[in-house]
Structure 1
Amino acid sequence: MALIDTLRAVKLPGRLPGLWGHAPDPAQDTAIAAAALRSDAFRAAREADWRRLERIVARLEAGRLRALSDEDLLALPVLYRTAASSLSVARETSLDAATLAWLETLVQRAWFQVYGPRQGLGTWLARFLGGGWPAAVRGLGIDLGIAFAVMVAGTLAGWLLCAGDPTWYGALFPADGTDPRVPGATRAVLHATLFGQQGQTGLGAFAAYLFSHNAQIAILAFALGFAFGVPSLLLLIQNTATLGAMLWLYHGQGLTVEAIGWLSVHGTTELFAILLAGAAGLHVGRAIAFPGQRAVLDAVAEAGRRAALVMVGVVLMLLVAGLLEGFARQLIDDTGGRLILGWSVLALWCAYFFGLRRTPGKLR
C-alpha cells in the first residue's frame, strides 16, 4: 500500500532504515501495516459520506440549488458535522497527508455553505435599497402614524406655549448668548439669519457636525424604545416643540413662509428620519408591551430585526440631511428654490417608501 511506503520513510525510534542497506525491523513493519489498515478502514467507513458532501457543496458553489433533492438539502448539515468530526479524528491518526488536506478543504467549503454569509455587501446593499428598507418602513405600521401624530402635537405645543408666555421660548430654544433669534428681535435681524449666507466657509465641517448631532438624537429615540416606547415619544415631543417655538418666533415678524423654506431644504429629510427612528423605537416598545399570541422574546426579536433595518436607512437619511443643511441651504438663497428642493425631496422619500412595492430577498 502507498501508505505503508510513506510510513516506512518516517524515521521512527529504534528503526534501522533499509535505505542504507540495513535489514528492516519485522516488528516495526507489522506496526506500520496495522496503522495503514486502521487508516484504510477509517477512510472506507466514511468516504461515501465525504463524496456525497463534496457533490452537494460543488452544486451549491455552482449556483445549482435546484439540482439538489430535498434529501440532499436536509442531509447537508449532518454530512458537514460528520466530516468535521472525521477531520478531528483524522488529525490524530495516521491518515495520509493528501487525504487529510482534501478533507480539510472539504470541511471549509461545507462550512461556508452551511454557516457562511449567503451574499456579499454589494448584494445585500442592492436588496436593502431595492426593497428591503421600504418594506421595513412599511412594516412599522401604526407606529408611524402614532409617531407622526406626536410630532405634530409637539410642534403645536411649542407654538402655543410660546404664544401664551414668551418666556417658554428660552426653555424650548436655549440660546448661547450670541444667537440673535430671541423674542423681541427685529424683522431685519431675523431676516439676516435666513438669507445672505452664501459666502460662509467651513460648510463641510458644519455638515459633519449636523450629521453627528442628528444621528445621536435619532439613535437615542430608537434606543429608548425598550421602555415601552414612552421615552421615544417624549423625545419626539421635545424636538418638535423646539421647532414650534422657532416657527412662532419668525411668525411674529411675518417671516413664516421664509422660515419654512429655510427649514424645508434639510428639514423634510431630517424630520422624516427622526420620525422613522421614533417609530422604530416605539415598534420595539409595543412588541414588549403587547406581544400578542407570541412569546415576548419572539415578538421582540421580529420587531428588533425590522427596526434595525429601518435604523440603517435612518443613518443614510441623516447623512443626506447633513449635506443639504450644510451646503444646499446656504447656497440656495431664495425661498422659492428652497421650498421646491425641500418638498421635492420629501416627495421622493414618500414615493420610495410607500410606492416601491418590490419584495426583496431575505436580508441577513
Structure 2
Amino acid sequence: MTALSPDTAIESAALRSDRARLEREGDWQRLDAIVTAMEKGRLRKVSDEDLLALPGLYRTVASSLSIARETSLDAATLAYLDALVQRAWFVVYGPRTSLWDWLRNFLGGGWSRAVRAIGPDVAVAFAVMVAGVVAGWLLVAHDPDWYFSLMSRAAAQERVPGASREVLHGTIFGNDGQSGMSVFAAQLFSNNARVSIMAFAFGFALGVPSLLLLVHNLALLGAMLWLYHGVGLTLDFAGWIAVHGTTELFAIMLSGAAGLHIGRAIAFPGKLGVLASAAQAGRRAAMVMTGVVLMLVIAALLEGFARQLVDTTPGRFAIGGFMLAFWIAYFFAFRGTKRFREQGAGEGRT
C-alpha cells in the first residue's frame, strides 16, 4: 500500500473537514443561534419549533465533535464545536436560573401566585382557625381546668386562671428594657413554628391532621383571650399578639392550607390520577412553605424585638395592622412583575 505524501495527507484532511462542515454546518449554526438567544434572555424570540429541536441539535453537534476528534479535523472546527457543545449543555441540562434570579422570581410573583392557587384551602384553614379560637374560649369559660390541657404550667408562667389584673398587665407591658426574645416569646415562637411544619407534613393524610393541629393551636389563643378578657385587658392582649401574630398566624394558616391542598389532591385527584395530582399539588405547596419559613423568621424578629420596644397598645396595633395589610396586599393584590407574569403565563400553557 502506497503511503501518502505529507502534502497529500494534509489535503485529504482538509477535504474531510470541508465535507463535514458542508454536511452539518446548518445544524451547528441553528444550535448556535438558539443558544445565543437563550443566553441573552431572548427566549421569546426562539420559536416553539426550535425549542423542540434543541435537545436533538445538541446531540447532533456533540456527535459531530466526537467525529471531529476521531478524524482529526482542523483545530478551528474542533475549538468551535467544543465551545458550542459546552454552551448548549448549560442551556439543555444546566441550572435554569441563578439563585438571585430564582429569588427575584419567587418574591416577584411566584410565591403570591402559589398562595392564590390554593385560595380555597386558605379559606378553609382560616375558618378552622376562627373555630379553634371560639372553641378554646368556650372550653375554658365552661371549665378553667381546660386551660392547662391546652398550655403547660411551665409555659404559662404567671398567665393562669385567677391571676390578678396587675400580674397579667405586667406580662404584656413594661418589657421595653428587655433585649431579645423573652422566654415565653421564644416558647411561643417555637410552638408555632412546630405547628406550621407539622400542619404541612401531615397533609398526606387527606389534610385531616393539618386541620386538627390548627384547631388545637388556635384553641390556646382562645383560652388566653378568655383569660385576659376576664380582667379587662382584651384590647391590650390583642395588641400584644398583633405585633407578631398577624405574620405568625398568617404563616400558620398558609402551612395548614398547604397541607390541606395536598390532602385534597390525594382525596380528589380528578383526571390526573393520584400520583400526578399529588405531585402537582406538592410543588405548589412547597412554594408556599418556602415563603412560610420567611414569614416565621420575620415573625420571630417582631416577637423578639419590636414587641419589646413598642410598649403601647396603639403602637402595637399599628405594627400588626401594617404587617397584615402588607401580607394581604402582597398575596391577593400583587400580581408580580411584568417579566414574571409572562413567565407564569408560559408555565400555565405548558
TM-score by length of 2: 0.85
- 1:69-148 → structure 2 map (5 Å cutoff): 69-148=47-126
Instruction: Give, as a single letter, the amino acid of the residue that structure 2 aligns with 1:288.
Output: I
Cα-Cα RMSD: 3.1
CA distance in 1, matches of 2:300, 2:188: 5
Q: Partner of 1:254: helix, strand, or coil?
A: coil
Q: Which piece of structure 1 moves more, 91-100 or 235-244?
A: 91-100
Name the structure with the higher helix share: 2
Q: Deviations over 1:129-171 (max 9, x none)?
A: 2322222111112111111111111111111111122111111
Partner of 2:276: 298
Q: Partner of 2:136: helix, strand, or coil?
A: helix
Partner of 2:218: 240
- 1:300 is displaced (CA, Å) by 1.7
Instruction: Give, as a single letter, the amino acid of the residue that structure 1 aligns with 2:343.
Output: K
Gaps of 5+ in 1: 1-24
2:326 equivalent among 313, 333, 348:
348
TM-score by length of 1: 0.82
Q: Partner of 1:200: helix, strand, or coil?
A: coil
- 1:209 is displaced (CA, Å) by 7.8
- 1:208 is displaced (CA, Å) by 8.1
Q: Deviations over 1:148-203 (max 9, x none)?
A: 11111111111111112211111101021881112222211111111111111344
Partner of 1:5: none
Partner of 1:274: 252
Q: Deviations over 1:56-86 (max 9, x none)?
A: 3223334444554554333222111111233
Q: Which piece of structure 1 moves more, 284-293 or 74-83?
A: 74-83
Q: Which piece of structure 1 moves more, 43-52 or 131-140?
A: 43-52
Instruction: Give, as a single letter, the amino acid of the residue that structure 1 aligns with 2:341.
Output: P
Change (3 A) 1:59 1:131: closer
Partner of 1:309: 287
- How many residues were matched structurally? 340
Partner of 2:263: 285
Q: Deviations over 1:248-282 (max 9, x none)?
A: 22122222111111111111110011001100110
Q: Is it true that 1:256 corresponds to 2:234 in the alignment? A: yes
- 1:121 is displaced (CA, Å) by 3.0
Q: Percent identity?
A: 62
Q: Is it true that 1:362 corresponds to 2:347 in the alignment? A: no
- 1:44 is displaced (CA, Å) by 5.0
Q: Is it true that 1:336 corresponds to 2:314 in the alignment? A: yes
Instruction: Give, as a single letter, the amino acid of the residue that structure 1 aligns with 2:230.
Output: G
- 1:26 is displaced (CA, Å) by 3.8
Partner of 2:296: 318
Change (3 A) 1:360 1:69: closer
Find the structure with the greater CA-based Rg.
1
Q: Which piece of structure 1 moves more, 99-108 or 325-334?
A: 99-108
Instruction: Give, as a single letter, the amino acid of the residue that structure 1 aligns with 2:326.
Output: L
